[in-house]
Chain A
Amino acid sequence: MSNIDLTLQIWRQKNSDALGKLETYTLDKISTDMSFLEMLDVLNEKLTMEGIEPVAFDHDCREGICGMCGAVINGVAHGPEKETTLCQLHMRHFKTGDVLVIEPFRSRAFPIKKDLVVDRSAFDKIIQAGGYVSVNTGGTPDGNAIPISSHIAELAMDAAACIGCGACVASCPNGAAMLFTSAKISQLCLLPQGHAERKKRALSMVETMDKEGFGNCTNLRECEAVCPKSISIRNIARLNREFVRAAFSEG
């Protein structure tokens, strides 16, 4: 364990209507065992004592699973460590003298609420448009009624691992939400439970995605590269197939 000294440039913005700007803070003696968010905690305690409003940032589980945290560190969503959410990024990946530019996840579809806090409810809208199997509670068949090969279950799980953090959108030069949307569609089209509605689902989720102001995918692969759960763009290929199939035979 050792300590490092850092310079932080953090995006400060009072609310969605206000103009924001980067503010510079220095922080000394940061233990390299800290997580990135703990480093921000330390900064916030310091700012509080100095009478400055602390930096607002979203977080909850601090275990890399709730998808609440996220910021762009020196141009990379969730920072330099691969397959890692911001809360699981540790300060040992930085060194004394580093200047860290910390900005919110930016996208047209994710308005900034304050400092590093953005509104990602557009993702919820996409799921609401069809990211489910329409079964009511009760009256379902036995869990083992439909065999599902472990290979398919694993592929579905690969896609279902998405935590909905929005790093894909934040890093996509076009602000596209294809990786997010494709992950849910893939999970449900791989599993037999999702087959009955697959066409309707593909059409309405894509329609909502377009309506919510996300950009068009141009296969730039940035999303896959920053995804903390390594969701593959293979899911996007699958979504494309699902969508074409649905568009030509339904609606």
Chain B
Amino acid sequence: MELNARIPSGPLAEKWDNHKFSAKLVNPANRRKFKVIVVGTGLAGAAASATLAEQGYKVSTFCIHDSPRRAHSIAAQGGINAAKNYQTDGDSVFRLFYDTIKGGDFRAREANVYRLAQVSNNIIDQCVAQGVPFAREYGGSLANRSFGGAQVSRTFYARGQTGQQLLLGAYSALSRQIHNGGVTMFNRREMMDLVVIDGQARGIITRNLINGNLESHWADAVLLCTGGYGNVYFLSTNAMASNVTAAWRAYKHGAGFANPSFVQIHPTCIPVHGDYQSKLTLMSESLRNDGRVWVPKNKGDKRKPADIPEEERDYYLENKYPSFGNLVPRDVASRNAKEQCDQGKGVGSTGLAVYLDFADAIKRDGEETILRKYGNLFQMYEKITDSSPLEEPMTIYPAVHYTMGGLWVDYNLMTTIPGLFALGECNFSDHGANRLGASALMQGLADGYFVIPTAIGNYFGESSIAPVNDSDEAFINAQQQVGDRLNKLLQNSSGGVGGKVTVDEIHKELGRLLWDNCGMARNKEGLEMALKKLPEIRQKFWDKVYIPGSGSDLNQTLERAGRVADFLEFGEIMIHDALNRAESCGCHLREESQTEENEAKRDDENYSYVSVWEYQGDDVEPKMHKEDLTFEYVTPSQRSYK
């Protein structure tokens, strides 16, 4: 596997412009001869579909839901960053670039991140033009807030529903293209496999989720916009249908998988309640602007929060990080919450929670002001927990939220398989070892609206692509294999050897294994143990999993089983990756690599690279390749938020 990032030459600030100029173009009249497949309709997929169709390519778009508007991006709450510097508080493209690189703990590519910061401004203009109702000042200009530990106000937002509004904007552009005939939309389709012909990505196999039919679709390029894999942990803030299948199938066809162990654990989520818990709910990070995080000073203190006097409370973030206080980056906040709970100071019925207290903010600003800022979040919290944050501190605990790892891509978002592109959370590109708040939406839209058009023109311009057809042997074979695999899953429908287990039981077992050993803190011993344990769970799955119903019908258990089967394989490279990276960086804390003050200790000498995993065959250890990271414009420093 050759890892050529194809970073354009020239000074950092000119790379993107240089690249746009030197990239090959496809003449507008010829574009309709190229067919592009887009899988997933989140920000990245919807934006890419719309834009490529506007430019004249023939686009086929696939979504797993009954409508493209429901993709997982819809759930993003907080906002989207851009370097507009509308507040004249010292922001700039370079500062956004710098913050993102630093926030990612110096494990991202400079050139990509700089481009992201540049394009961020175009995104806001684009969304405003589409009619996205961003929050406004009284005078009519766009409002901003500071978010996720940034020291400037650069986050644009639409109430607590920014992801929804941005996605609906992209969905509307997509709808326009469906209406104009530029995009053919396939709803309720799940991509089951990738078809590679002569080394190029040439199509996909999908399953029609309503009638179970397997379908072949050819194209000249395939764009995976299928989001992150946080659901490998079973419990995460991701939507239930988010999964790794598309990326995993690509990996098995030779696409490199980069930094799979980089998973962001968000500090402010509603704690787990019971075994039946199906997913976790994020409480926007903005709450940390006014809420104070604390635990009782004494272990096992079971008093009600109101009964614990001020001097017996430990505002551990404020004490430990005086200059950032409650606003430290996500990884730091999460890790500290875990530390407190591990010490037995956790609160709530499970002891796995800390308080986020608004009493002081309410005293200072009044209930009305606080409600204006967080009213809908408080309401949501109360709906779920039956407790009002106005009367009692919230309880929060970290939860899996975002995956920085993903398919390895070059500067053009192309994976190691020519013609296969990965956009949005599905790729690994811009966030290094930790993502800053409000940057994922920015990246998804940057990739979809602004980067992919140039990239795809360049690919079509420089490659020779032979004609193929859905009825080619490669498609027939691939479809056959997908069918066989589904049949294998259904084999146990009569109950396997030694009783039945359900898909969710296995998924929970996998999730627990990863959460305990490859979650917020990792160590060699635990990882090695997990690596041994994982194949056992996988075996149990194939032996005993019980799936009622048939494959020629709407069968949600079968759908989940297919996804879990891939998670069970995928988990292994996550663990390999975590094991390989013996340093701590960003969200990846190896307990062996900490400073004296228990902060993550990076090891630039040995680990300043992207780890890229290559498939070597089932049950064969994957091979790791390195893309070395070089920093010309920023100097990696030990992150310190003290």
A-B contact count (CB 8 A): 225
B126 and A15 form a contact (CB under 8 A): no
Question: At the interface, yes or no: A191 with Cβ under 8 Å from chain B?
Answer: yes
B137 and A150 form a contact (CB under 8 A): yes
Question: At the interface, yes or no: B383 with Cβ under 8 Å from chain A?
Answer: yes
Question: At the interface, yes or no: A107 with Cβ under 8 Å from chain B?
Answer: no
A135 and B129 form a contact (CB under 8 A): yes
B241 and A60 form a contact (CB under 8 A): yes
Question: At the interface, yes or no: A67 with Cβ under 8 Å from chain B?
Answer: yes
**What distance in Å separates the Cβ of A197 from its nearest Cβ neighbour in chain B?**
11
Asked whether A41 and B548 contact (CB < 8 A) given A56-B556, A63-B75, the answer is no
- Per-residue CB contact flags for chain B residues 16-32 toward chain A (1 = under 8 Å, else 0) read 00000000000000000
A149 and B239 form a contact (CB under 8 A): no
A54 and B557 form a contact (CB under 8 A): yes
A150 and B386 form a contact (CB under 8 A): no
Question: At the interface, yes or no: B549 with Cβ under 8 Å from chain A?
Answer: yes
- Per-residue CB contact flags for chain B residues 362-377 toward chain A (1 = under 8 Å, else 0) read 0000000000000000
A149 and B138 form a contact (CB under 8 A): yes
Residues of A within 8 A of B384 (CB): 35, 88, 90
Closest A residue, CB atoms, query B449: A137
Bound complex: CA A193 to CA B126 (Å)? 11
B546 and A140 form a contact (CB under 8 A): no
Q: Which of A31, A81, A127, A147 contacts B172 (CB 8 A)?
A: A127
Bound complex: CA A132 to CA B69 (Å)? 13
B274 and A34 form a contact (CB under 8 A): yes
Residues of A within 8 A of B131 (CB): 132-133, 156, 187-188, 191, 193-194
Residues of A within 8 A of B450 (CB): 137-138
Closest A residue, CB atoms, query B240: A60
Residues of A within 8 A of B273 (CB): 1, 31, 33
Residues of A within 8 A of B133 (CB): 153-154, 156-157, 160, 187, 191
**What distance in Å separates the Cβ of B492 from its nearest Cβ neighbour in chain A?**
12
Bound complex: CA A52 to CA B84 (Å)? 57
Question: At the interface, yes or no: A250 with Cβ under 8 Å from chain B?
Answer: no
Question: At the interface, yes or no: A92 with Cβ under 8 Å from chain B?
Answer: yes
Q: Which of B70, B137, B274 contacts A60 (CB 8 A)?
A: B70
Bound complex: CA A129 to CA B175 (Å)? 8
Closest A residue, CB atoms, query B379: A83
Asked whether A150 and B241 contact (CB < 8 A) given A56-B556, A60-B70, the answer is no
Question: At the interface, yes or no: B50 with Cβ under 8 Å from chain A?
Answer: yes
Bound complex: CA A132 to CA B126 (Å)? 13
Asked whether A48 and B274 contact (CB < 8 A) given A131-B172, A134-B176, A153-B135, the answer is no
Q: Which of A66, A81, A88, A140 contacts B126 (CB 8 A)?
A: A140
B66 and A120 form a contact (CB under 8 A): yes
Residues of A within 8 A of B385 (CB): 33
Asked whether A160 and B500 contact (CB < 8 A) given A128-B176, A133-B130, A140-B125, the answer is no
Residues of B within 8 A of A161 (CB): 159, 161, 164
Which residues of A, 6-32, contact B by the 8 Å Cβ criterion? 14-15, 31
Asked whether A153 and B380 contact (CB < 8 A) given A117-B554, A128-B179, A133-B172, the answer is no
Which residues of A, 159-177, contact B by the 8 Å Cβ criterion? 160-161, 163-164
* Tally of A interface residues using CB under 8 Å: 79
Which residues of B, 21-77, contact A by the 8 Å Cβ criterion? 47, 50-51, 54, 65-70, 72, 74-75
Question: At the interface, yes or no: A141 with Cβ under 8 Å from chain B?
Answer: yes
Residues of B within 8 A of A1 (CB): 273, 349
Bound complex: CA A92 to CA B554 (Å)? 31
Residues of A within 8 A of B213 (CB): none
A61 and B140 form a contact (CB under 8 A): no
24 contacts between A and B (CB under 8 A): A1-B273, A31-B273, A33-B273, A42-B276, A44-B557, A54-B557, A61-B239, A62-B240, A66-B74, A92-B386, A117-B554, A124-B187, A127-B171, A133-B172, A137-B54, A137-B450, A137-B453, A138-B450, A146-B128, A147-B141, A149-B136, A150-B135, A150-B143, A193-B129
| Interface positions of A (Cβ within 8 A of B) | 1, 14-15, 31, 33-35, 37-38, 41-42, 44-45, 47-49, 51-54, 56, 58-68, 81, 84, 88, 90, 92, 113-114, 117, 119-121, 123-124, 127-129, 131-138, 140-144, 146-150, 153-154, 156-157, 160-161, 163-164, 187-188, 191, 193-194
| Interface positions of B (Cβ within 8 A of A) | 47, 50-51, 54, 65-70, 72, 74-75, 84, 86, 122, 124-131, 133-143, 158-159, 161, 163-165, 168, 171-173, 175-176, 178-179, 185, 187, 210, 239-241, 273-274, 276-279, 281-282, 349, 380, 383-386, 449-450, 453, 500, 502, 504, 546, 548-549, 553-554, 556-557
Return the 7 tightest CB-CB contacts between A and B, nearest first. A147-B140, A132-B172, A140-B129, A156-B133, A150-B136, A143-B128, A153-B136
Add 4 more A-B contacts to A68-B66, A90-B384, A163-B74 (CB < 8 A). Answer: A41-B504, A48-B557, A61-B239, A141-B125
